[in-house]
Structure 1
Amino acid sequence: MLDQATKGMNGWRRERGEAALSDVHGTIAVSHRSRLGRLFAFIGPGYLVATGYMDPGNWATSLAGGSRFGYALLFVALLSNMIAILLQALCSRLGVATGRDLAQACRDSFPKPVAFVLWLLAELAICATDLAEVIGTAIGLNLLFGIPLELGVIVTALDVFLILWLQKLGFRFVEAFIVALLGIIGACFFIQIAMADPDWGAVIRGFAPTTEIVTNPDMLYLALGILGATVMPHNLYLHSAIVQTRKHAPTPDGVREAIRFATWDSTFALMFALTINASILILAAAAFHGTGTGEVADLGKAHELLNPLLGSALAPTLFAVALLCCGLNSTVTATIAGQAVMEGFIEMKIQPWLRRLITRAIAIVPAAAVTIAYGEKGASTLLILSQVVLSLQLPFAIVPLVLFTADRRKMGEHVAPRWQTVLAAAASLLIIALNVKLLVDTALGS
């Protein structure tokens, strides 16, 4: 199958060309290991993807939902995660079965003008993602070390050296770094929730659907926000590329096993992401809603209120540590996604440090200007704007993914099952509709 992908398969307009992320492509051999060893070797890419589902851009919505409506929106977080699992499974299937990432598949399927537009939109999404990370990391530095937001925005540019160092060590070290930070984030929220002592009966009931989500306009709006911001466009490009770092047996059985293991990896990782997102909502519900504080959507305000409400100076510190770790994690994954997008769409390779500085500069300029002029309030507004930009780009990544994985001419015998395609199409239409509604509501100021 992989040989076919390299030579060109029926259904593709052109041959694939160079492999995705060629510097790390197939660098982790798995075929010589035992079955359990092969499964372990596939663990990693899913956790890089999972960071996109808990990046700083998602925190405000979960905080607002929990502080205003308690545990009621946990069902929306669960539904969002199920949709994410489904779409990321298609990404791993595309990458493993065709030897193409999503960017390469778009380039090889569509006319050049169409592919060029899709590339520009993908780059816009990368910049918007980077903008959210710049602001989130700067807020984390401000809360933890008292570094002014304006200076924190500039300091975030130094992460390029961290990424370069990790890439030189090898892709497994990148994955280990991500997993380690995820472990810190998980520990921080575990301790904070223990301090908050939520109503666990209400937590369990919160995962069940309720008609109030639809009948209450305010609750519906926040539910739309949680669902609409679920799938980040760069995650679709990222996952279909990094899953190819594993060198599996090129036989049909080997490809099927690789798809299965990659799907398990992303599923388990995204369940962890659900745990973190639910933890943010549960913490907000227990600390703010339960005490009658009211809606809290601002990251700085949440940090400020945790100390008096939970009676410990440790709680706000853990909150800031988790936010900073989320920003660092998202920075690494956005860089790799940017590399895959540029190389996949236009086959242009530049030094990682140069690409990182370019994208970070694009994000830093508006972030620095707004924080200097308007402070934290302006930064929060810019954070929301970055999510709107991502919403605009989302359909241009999801629709091609569903179309490619449903096409037997492109996927061969590894085409997605019909049930998976139907569910993915329905989920995609739902996410697109919700994003359009959020965009219209934002434009109308409602």
Structure 2
Amino acid sequence: MRLGPGLLVTAAFIGPGTITTASVAGANFGFALIWTLLFSVIATILLQSMAARLGVATGKDLAQALRAHIHTPVLKVLASFLVISAIGVGSAAYEAGNLSGASMGLIKIFPTINAQIWTPLIAFISALLLYSGKHKVVENALILLVILMSLVFISTLVMAAPPISQVLAGFIPTMPEGSVTTVLALIGTTIVPYNLFLHSGVLAAKYNNNSDKRKIIKQTNIDTSLSITLGGVITLAILSTASVAFYGTDAGKVSAANMAVQLEPLLGGAAHYFFAIGLFAAGLTSAITAPLAGAYAVCGMLGWSNKMQSSRFKSVALVILLFGAAVASLGLDPVAVIIFAQAANGLLLPIITVYLLWLVNQKAVMGNYTNSVLLNLITVPILLLIFGLSSYKLISLIF
């Protein structure tokens, strides 16, 4: 089976932020937080599979379904404001980090070339792909980048050669002192609300006219499981490499920006370039998927077409991309916008997951493709954790 739309989710959540979070987790806590990745991957597979099934079964993305099933005008306006704030504005705010991350990777590979040209060039490449309006072109480009990213980070892990016994021990849940924030960050970089809009939107557009929905849903479930598992393996590789290189040392602050350089004494010059290429691929994939996710959310909530060929869809995606490029190129500080987006995401994540669960249990909406009782029982503890994660994020932002 050929992997496809599920890899867009992997491309979206493996970005510079995930590389930084996984690097910090490995450097500060060794292999102890690997169990968090396992939980995050399982939770993401369940939620993304539901969103994907919604798209295939109804022909609507999550934003369109939300708009269609809220009938009270005031609630519809509030829902639109929250989704557009969290997903649309959030995608624009995070886009600056995605472009900056991709640029950092190229700067480390080509240090003699003027660093100022990379961000506009990457933004231009992303804009060309988005403006093409062709799912196949965008999907194939992202698949190639995810494959490159996978080869890079897994090769770096092989070079680091972590002790297998210590890696396996990390799957046993423990909470080292001071690790709560990092645990939540690892979960938060994997269970991403805008991916629910992205995944459902891509599949709704791709299979809207396909009559064999049962077969498509089965294929999509396999695609989603394998793709997100691959994303978990990439994150595991980054965390484990950072653990081998930095845990128990005084290497200082570790981040996506400096990890490539800091790995060189341990793994040699090849690792420096490997990691830089991976950082570039991670930044570019997220730079393409963030505007897509934002466009699906904004267009769906406003009742506009969710087709990539639509002029409104392209315009929303390009505005998000241009905002990120301006912030990254001009050195502007997106902190205020990011804090606002994080607060909106903290509110949206539990609401949208509960709504998604309710929606995929409605026979009137899903027909014969509703959730099983077992799937609902498995999802409940995940929802409880999401409520806890969102509450913690909101409290930390307020206080």
TM-score w.r.t. length of structure 2: 0.87
Q: What is aligned with 2:295?
A: 339
Are residues 160 and 294 of structure 1, via their aligned partners in 2, closer, same or farther at CA, if it must alter by over 3 Å?
closer
Q: Contact conserved, 2:84 with 2:297, CA < 8 A, in 1?
A: no
Q: What is aligned with 2:279?
A: 323
Alignment of 1:21-170 (within 5 A): 40=2, 43-110=3-70, 111=72, 112-121=76-85, 122-146=87-111, 152-164=118-130, 167=132, 170=134
The answer on 1:305 being equivalent to 2:269 is no
Q: What amino acid is the match of 2:356?
A: L
Question: Which stretch has the larger CA shift, 122-131 or 71-80?
Answer: 122-131
Alignment of 1:29-428 (within 5 A): 40=2, 43-110=3-70, 111=72, 112-121=76-85, 122-146=87-111, 152-164=118-130, 167=132, 170-210=134-174, 213=175, 216-244=176-204, 245-246=206-207, 249-250=210-211, 254-289=212-247, 292-294=249-251, 296-310=253-267, 312-348=268-304, 349-350=310-311, 353-369=314-330, 371=331, 385=339, 388-389=342-343, 390-428=345-383
Are residues 235 and 148 of structure 1, via their aligned partners in 2, closer, same or farther at CA, if it must alter by over 3 Å?
farther
Question: Which stretch has the larger CA shift, 359-368 or 229-238?
Answer: 359-368
Q: Contact conserved, 2:127 with 2:321, CA < 8 A, in 1?
A: no
Q: Contact conserved, 1:118 with 1:396, CA < 8 A, in 2?
A: no
> What is the Cα deviation at residue 352 of structure 1?
5.3
> What is the Cα deviation at residue 138 of structure 1?
2.9
Partner SS for 1:80: helix
**Alpha-carbon distance between aligned partners in 2 of 1:391 and 1:131, rounded to the nearest angstrom:** 20
CA RMSD of aligned residues (A): 2.7
**Alpha-carbon distance between aligned partners in 2 of 1:120 and 1:85, rounded to the nearest angstrom:** 24
TM-score w.r.t. length of structure 1: 0.78
Q: Contact conserved, 2:16 with 2:256, CA < 8 A, in 1?
A: no
> What is the Cα deviation at residue 148 of structure 1?
6.6
Q: Deviations over 1:52-94 (max 9, x none)?
A: 2211121111111101111111111111111000100111111
**Alpha-carbon distance between aligned partners in 2 of 1:387 and 1:58, rounded to the nearest angstrom:** 17
Q: Deviations over 1:119-167 (max 9, x none)?
A: 42231232233233123223223333336766544444313443147x4
Are residues 105 and 164 of structure 1, via their aligned partners in 2, closer, same or farther at CA, if it must alter by over 3 Å?
closer
Question: Which stretch has the larger CA shift, 350-359 or 89-98?
Answer: 350-359
Q: What amino acid is the match of 2:42?
A: M
Partner SS for 2:31: coil
Q: Contact conserved, 1:59 with 1:280, CA < 8 A, in 2?
A: yes
Partner SS for 1:217: coil
Q: What is aligned with 1:32?
A: none
**Alpha-carbon distance between aligned partners in 2 of 1:328 and 1:396, rounded to the nearest angstrom:** 30
Q: Contact conserved, 2:299 with 2:313, CA < 8 A, in 1?
A: no
Q: What is aligned with 1:9?
A: none
Q: Contact conserved, 1:76 with 1:227, CA < 8 A, in 2?
A: yes
The structure with more radius of gyration = 1
**Alpha-carbon distance between aligned partners in 1 of 2:80 and 2:394, rounded to the nearest angstrom:** 24
Q: Contact conserved, 1:289 with 1:295, CA < 8 A, in 2?
A: no
Q: What amino acid is the match of 2:258?
A: K
> What is the Cα deviation at residue 98 of structure 1?
1.7
Q: Contact conserved, 2:157 with 2:240, CA < 8 A, in 1?
A: yes
**Alpha-carbon distance between aligned partners in 1 of 2:208 and 2:79, rounded to the nearest angstrom:** 28
Question: Which stretch has the larger CA shift, 424-433 or 269-278?
Answer: 424-433
**Alpha-carbon distance between aligned partners in 2 of 1:436 and 1:402, rounded to the nearest angstrom:** 19
Are residues 247 and 410 of structure 1, via their aligned partners in 2, closer, same or farther at CA, if it must alter by over 3 Å?
closer
> What is the Cα deviation at residue 225 of structure 1?
1.4
**Alpha-carbon distance between aligned partners in 2 of 1:321 and 1:295, rounded to the nearest angstrom:** 23
Gaps of 5+ in 1: 1-38, 373-377
**Alpha-carbon distance between aligned partners in 1 of 2:109 and 2:395, rounded to the nearest angstrom:** 36
Q: Contact conserved, 2:8 with 2:289, CA < 8 A, in 1?
A: yes
- Percentage of matched positions with identical amino acids: 27
Gaps of 5+ in 2: 305-309
